[in-house]
Amino acid sequence: MNQPSARYASLEQRVVFITGGGSGIGASLTRAFHHQGSRVVFVDIDDEASEALVSELRAETGEAPRFHHCDIRDVASLQQVIAETGQHLGPIHTLINNAASDDRHAWQDVDVTYWDERMSLNLRPMFFAAQAAAEQMMQAGGGSIINFGSVSVQMALGGLPAYVTAKAAVHGLTRSLARDLGEHNIRVNTLVPGAVMTERQLEKWISPEDEITIQERQCLKMRLEPQHIAPAVLFLASNESQAITGQELAVDAGWA
């Protein structure tokens, strides 16, 4: 798989923590930061995909990122892994809140339990991961938090109202944390991916006909894939973006 060609010296040996880093967009991020020479730790619930990724990168480079099985809905476990990362590798410099689930649901079928569960997966972990990682960043003199939004907000997509609500809240979280953490030289930004053709999306939601329609609506007539997201995330983590915070960056081929 193609890796971003830009090399950021500021990411060498930096500790990077990624949620949902074992497959899809998350796996492309794990690969990209690993090839930058960062010390990558990622959590996921897909053990098979995550362990395969670790083996792949070890075979390529002789080293491997660290994988921890963690359900991010369990805030205590998530914060414990973040704390252990700081203890074993040094303070986290970059936190990437990537993990999410965009399962479709009709608004008529949503009850309180389902709503709360969606928030516990798509929104709540972002705040509590940032809370834990920011303490380490403050000790280290700064850092970068990158929260993943969704083009579904800008497109006003139907069929998944709880997910769209959570993702709309992400940018509010980003802007608030950017204000609170800026005095500690911690930058907080939102990355908004477009219709990325991951295996999951193609298996569950996007038909060949849907993909044609999406590309017709995009300014750039291309298939958006996970590796197209990684370069923007590397930039937001690097020193080259040191004056950028509280912002929303879309990588959607001009769909929205």
The predicted structure's pLDDT at residue 4: 58
As a whole number of angstroms, the distance between CA 89 and CA 81 comes to 12
The position carrying tokens 């929303």 is: 248
Residues with active-site annotation: 163
2 pLDDT more than 80: no
pLDDT tens per residue, range 146-185 = 999 999 898 888 989 999 999 999 999 999 999 999 999 9
For CA atoms 218, 221, 227, 228, give the dihedral sign: negative
From 70-84, 208-222, 228-242, the region with the lowest mean pLDDT = 208-222
Cβ atoms of residues 23 and 50 within 8 Å: yes
Domain-wise residue ranges, the chain: 12-193+228-251
Structure tokens, 198: 């991951």
Q: What is the arithmetic mean of pLDDT over 18-39?
A: 96
pLDDT tens per residue, range 117-126 = 999 999 999 9
Beta-carbon contacts of residue 66 (< 8 Å; ≥ 6 apart): 40, 41, 42, 85, 89
217 pLDDT more than 60: yes
pLDDT tens per residue, range 54-68 = 999 999 999 999 999
The domain covering 12-193+228-251 belongs, at the CATH homologous superfamily level, to: NAD(P)-binding Rossmann-like Domain (3.40.50.720)
**Model-wide pTM > 0.85:** yes
